[in-house]
Amino acid sequence: MHIIYVGRRGGALRSVNLDLRWLLALLALLVPALLAAGMALGNLLAPKISESDQALLQVLDEQREELGLVRSDAERQLQAFSAHIAALQARLTRLDALGERLTELADLDASEFDFSLDVGQGGPELPLQGEAFSPPPFMEALDELSWRMGSREAQLEVLEQVLAERRLEEAGELAGRPVARGYVSSSFGRRIDPLTGRASVHRGVDFAAHPGSEVLAVAAGVVTWSGRKTGYGLTVEISHADGYVTLYAHNQSNLVKVGDLVQRGQPIATVGRSGRSTGYHVHFEVSRHGKTVNPAAYIARVAEAR
C-alpha cells in the first residue's frame, strides 16, 4: 500500500509504503486486545451478584407469579360471590311478596306483619376484648342480607303458626250443609210425622237431594259410628271438638268406617232412603255433650261466609 501525504514544512510531498499483510496482522492483534480490555472494564464497573442474591431474585420471581394466580382466583371468587348475593336478594324479594300475600289471605292486621320494616332488636353494647376488626364491604353486605333473611323467616314462621292454628279452629268448627246440592225438606222441632200423620218431634234437618250424590262432613273429626241404626237406616256419626257429634242418616252407602279421620267437605256417604223414610234425603243431626241441638245455626255459618 502506497500512502502520500503533505508535510508541514515547505509543503513537500512525502510517501510511505505499507505492506497490507502487516497491517492486517496488526489489526488482528489489536481487536481481541480491545475486546478483552472492554470486558475487564465492564466486570470492574458492574455490580457483583452473589449466589445468595440470585436465589433471592428467583424466590421473588416465583412469589410474583404466585401472587398473580391468587389475584386471578380472588377475582373469580368475587364474581361468583356477587352472583350469589344477587340470587339471595331475589329470594328475599320473593319472601317479602309471599309474606304480604299470606297476610292478606289470612286477613291479619297489616301493621302486625309489616314486611317492609325491620324486626325490632336492641340492648346494651358489650364489646369483646381485642382490636376492632373492619370487615371488607362485601362481607358487610352479606351480613346485612343474612340478617334480613333471618328476620323474614322469623315473621313467616309466626305467620305460618297463626294460619295453622286458624285452620285447625276452622276445620273443627261445625259449618255448612251436608250436601252440595239440595234443599231443606223438613226443619228441626215439632212437625207432623210424614208416615203416621201425628204430631212429633224432629231431632234434625232433612235435606232432599239427588239419589247417590255425596254426603259431606260439616267439620273435621273422627268417625265413631258407621252402620245401621233403628229408624235411621245406614248412618254415619262423627265426633268433633268441644263435645259435638254430627249424624248423617238414611244413606244409600257409607264411605267411611269407625276410626277414620275426616276433614270438612270430605264425602262420607251417598244419599239414599234407607230406614224409616219416604224418599231420598239426608237426615242431619247435631248434638253437644249428648244433647240434641238445632243444626240451623251451624248450617248458616257457611252461608254467611260465602
> Is there a single domain that holds both residue 194 and residue 286?
yes
Please tell me the predicted confidence (pLDDT) of residue 304.
45
Query: Mean pLDDT across the stretch 259-271?
Result: 94
Instruction: Give the residue numbers spanning the domain of 150.
Output: 74-112+137-172
Residue 72 burial by Cβ neighbours in a 10 Å radius (0-12, 13-18, 19+): exposed
Residue 194 and residue 265 in one domain = yes
Residue 178 lies in a domain: no
The answer to whether residue 65 sits within a structural domain is no
- Which is it for the CA torsion 180, 182, 183, 184, positive or negative? negative
H-assigned helices in the chain:
20-45, 51-105, 137-172, 296-305
The total of structural domains in the chain comes to 3
Is the residue at 265 inside a domain? yes
Instruction: Give the residue carrying C-alpha cell 305467620.
Output: 159
* 126 vs 143, higher pLDDT: 143
Q: Residue 13 pLDDT more than 50?
A: yes
Q: Is residue 9 part of a domain?
A: yes
Domain presence at residue 155: yes
pLDDT of 6 > 70? The answer is: no
C-alpha cell at 175: 259449618
Question: CATH number, domain at 194?
Answer: 2.70.70.10
pLDDT at 235 over 90: yes
The answer to whether residue 145 sits within a structural domain is yes
Q: How confident is the model at residue 217, as a pLDDT?
A: 96
The pLDDT of residue 2 is above 60:
no
Q: Which tops the pLDDT comparison, 26 or 276?
A: 276
Tell me the pTM. 0.48
Q: For residue 235, which amino acid is it?
A: T
To 10 degrees, the CA torsion angle through 239, 243, 246, 247? 80
Verify that 24 and 97 share a domain, yes or no. no
Cβ pair 208, 185 in contact under 8 A: yes
Do 280 and 203 have their domain in common? yes
**In the 8-state DSSP scheme, what is residue 250?**
E
Between CA 228 and CA 250 the distance in angstroms is: 9
